[in-house]
């Protein structure tokens, strides 16, 4: 089954979130045939969960701390995400890595914590433009996935998000997506060999209803992690339909 996850980032108020969810549910088929997730800002988690979870849509946190509680002003703990209705958590988004100093070492702990609290980690990986231009794309992806050697196996979704394609309107070309996803699959096979886990690999970066069908036709593209286009319920409903 394909997956589509809306990453609202630091957008929408409760009034706007309610309008989005009500409109999305009106537009969606009762059985959309895809796994759907929404990652709202923390203040909206409860509200969005109550609206969409009865319809089978999962709710994700946008980040979570490795410690279950404590003196970490401004952070949110995995059990708090669960309590607010989340079943998953986005980890390692490039904006967290770039602007908030998120490291692979911290992510190793966060993945373990997510599993401990029964949350599905959606791990984001991707290269910057400078790294791509320097021919380092696969090395960067390999490095970012190497934390799986330390976490060990568990339920996981991965999103390939080339940093230069996020929020820029500049989607990666098909050949670039195919190369990256094939490499990620090989690395996942290496890290998770002999386990029961089959990890879907989502693409993220300027996904729109115009570009999504072609992406979904590429090998090893199991869906999308969507920022900008996921703030418009009409567009997001269209993406859900395309994935179904
Ligand atoms: P975008 O964001 O669709 O606006 O490029 C994707 C993401 O950051 O997950």
Distance 122 CA to ligand 1 centre (A): 14
**Would you call 74 exposed, middle or buried from its count of C-beta atoms within 10 A (0-12, 13-18, 19+)?**
exposed
Q: What CATH number is given for 3-243 in this structure?
A: 3.20.20.70
Task: Note whether 239 and 229 are within 8 A (CB).
Answer: yes
Location of structure tokens 């910057």: 128
> Would the pLDDT of 196 be above 90?
no
**Distance from C-alpha of 132 to C-alpha of 216, rounded to nearest angstrom:** 23
Structure tokens, 184: 């990620």
Coil/strand/helix, residue 162: coil
pLDDT for 169 equals 84
Question: pLDDT above 90 covers what percent of the chain?
Answer: 94
pLDDT for 118 equals 98
Does 167 contact ligand 1 (Cβ within 6 A)? yes
- Give the number of the atom of ligand 1 that is nearest the alpha carbon of residue 225: 9
> Would the pLDDT of 176 be above 90?
yes
Residue spans of the domains in the chain: they are 3-243
Per-residue pLDDT tens for 45-85? 999 999 999 999 999 999 999 999 999 999 999 999 999 99
Question: Across residues 140-148, what is the average pLDDT?
Answer: 98
pLDDT for 195 equals 86
Question: Across residues 212-232, what is the average pLDDT?
Answer: 98
Does 207 contact ligand 1 (Cβ within 6 A)? yes
161 included as an active-site residue: yes
The active-site residue, picked from 35, 95, 102, 161, is: 161
Task: Note whether 29 and 7 are within 8 A (CB).
Answer: no
C-alpha torsion sign, points 192, 78, 63, 118:
positive
> Would the pLDDT of 171 be above 90?
no
Does 126 contact ligand 1 (Cβ within 6 A)? no
Structure tokens, 93: 């988004």
Does 142 contact ligand 1 (Cβ within 6 A)? no
Tell the residue nearest (CA) to atom 2 of ligand 1: 227
């Amino acid at each position: 089954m394909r997956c589509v996850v809306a990453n609202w980032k630091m957008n929408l108020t409760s009034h706007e979130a309610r309008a989005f969810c009500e409109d999305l549910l009106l537009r969606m088929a009762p059985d959309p045939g895809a796994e759907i997730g929404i990652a709202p800002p923390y203040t909206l988690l409860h509200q969005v969960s109550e609206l969409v979870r009865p319809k089978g849509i999962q709710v994700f946190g946008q980040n979570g701390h490795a410690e279950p509680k404590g003196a970490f002003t401004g952070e949110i703990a995995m059990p708090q995400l669960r309590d607010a209705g989340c079943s998953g958590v986005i980890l390692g988004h490039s904006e967290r890595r770039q602007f908030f100093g998120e490291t692979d070492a911290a992510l190793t702990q966060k993945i373990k914590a997510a599993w401990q609290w029964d949350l599905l980690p959606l791990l984001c990986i991707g290269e910057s433009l400078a790294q791509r231009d320097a021919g380092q794309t696969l090395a960067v992806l390999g490095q970012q996935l190497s934390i799986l050697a330390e976490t060990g196996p568990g339920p996981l979704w991965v999103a390939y998000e080339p940093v230069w394609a996020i929020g820029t309107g500049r989607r990666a070309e098909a050949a670039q997506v195919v190369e990256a996803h094939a490499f990620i699959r090989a690395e996942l096979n290496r890290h998770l060999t002999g386990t029961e886990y089959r990890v879907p690999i989502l693409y993220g970066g300027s996904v729109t209803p115009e570009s999504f069908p072609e992406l979904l036709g590429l090998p090893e593209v199991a869906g999308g992690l969507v920022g900008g286009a996921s703030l418009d319920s009409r567009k997001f409903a269209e993406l859900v339909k395309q994935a179904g």
